[in-house]
Amino acid sequence: MHRPTRPLPSAAGFTLMEMSVVLVIIALIIGAVSVGRDVYRSAEAERIGSEFVQGWMVAYDRYVQQSGVVPGDDPANPSGRIYNQLGRELCRDELRNDMLRRGVSLPQGRAEGAETRYVYRDSQGNPQELEVCFVNLGNWAEPDVASGYRTRVRNVMVLKGLTPELANQLDARIDGRVDARFGRMREINRHSEVDPISTTNPPANPWSRDNRQDYNGGYTPDAQVAVMTGYVRMNQ
């Protein structure tokens, strides 16, 4: 005898409420990942500032205290200038070896033997390399009672490979505000500007590039972020 077949239950789809819940969960996950990246980069910038940049500032000061001259200067005929001349940078092995000869401990950088460099990631997740050097400049702009501003000879630390995000965070850490033109930390080629500014309402002087620009000055998604060079004036 033929038995009647039981009809299969119809497949139920997602309700509008269920789909809404799924979309909300996805949005929360994406948001959490984005916030996590921002927190990581902020913590990395803080570590770079406190351990690498500040570490090299301390190493420079210890060198001066222990030797009586600035790095690269001639102890027999001190000039107070790095390399006893303008514009010649003290970098990499020369900087490292000069510090070690004076018994100065070096900050932890990229690796042993590469303490003058530090590898980090930009906002797109691409690797970047920050490098420290020292140089003597003859055109550092400073306030002057008689003329408003004038240029002076100053020893500075050079920071090469700064993303806009890192430059802003280090500038705020060192100077208390972001200003690529004035203060102790400045952008290369803007350190010598001497036009007077209003002391009551100074204009904004942002760094020349923003965090969306790539190495070629364009706006290619996921490309390596453009980098700049900054100067930090040393105490001696």
Give the integer Cα–Cα distance in Å for 176 and 106: 26
Helices 16-47 and 164-175 cross at an angle (nearest 10°) of 60
Beta bridge partners of 152: 140
pLDDT at site 92 = 96
Distance CA 113, CA 185 (A): 27
108: left (phi over 0), alpha (psi -120 to 50) or beta: beta
Is residue 216 left, alpha or beta, with left meaning phi > 0 and alpha meaning psi from -120 to 50? alpha
**pLDDT over threshold 70, residue 197:** no
Contacts of 149 (CB under 8 A, 6+ apart): 141, 142, 143, 194, 195, 196
For strands 127-144 and 117-121, give the pairing. Answer: antiparallel
pLDDT digits (tens, 9 = 90+) for 60-111: 999 999 999 999 999 899 999 998 888 999 999 999 999 999 999 999 999 9
Residues 135-160: tens digit of each pLDDT: 999 999 988 777 678 889 999 999 99
Q: What pLDDT shows up at residue 158? A: 98
State yes or no: pLDDT of 25 exceeds 70.
no
pTM attached to this predicted model? 0.82
Strands (E), 59-183: 117-121, 127-144, 148-162
Q: Assign 187 a pLDDT band (cuts: 50, 70, 90).
A: very high
Confidence at residue 221, expressed as pLDDT on a 0 to 100 scale: 84
CB atoms inside a 10 Å sphere around CB 92: 16
Helix segments in 53-129, DSSP class H:
54-67, 92-101
**CA distance linking residue 179 with residue 187, whole number of Å:** 9
Look at residue 212 in the predicted model and tell me its pLDDT.
84
Provide the token pair at 33: 């990942």
Q: Are 214 and 112 in contact (CB under 8 A)?
A: no
Quick one: pLDDT at residue 208? 93
Six token digits for residue 194: 């001497």
Whether 113 has a pLDDT exceeding 70, the answer reads yes
With a cut of 50, say whether residue 35 has pLDDT above it.
no
The average pLDDT across 165-171 equals: 95
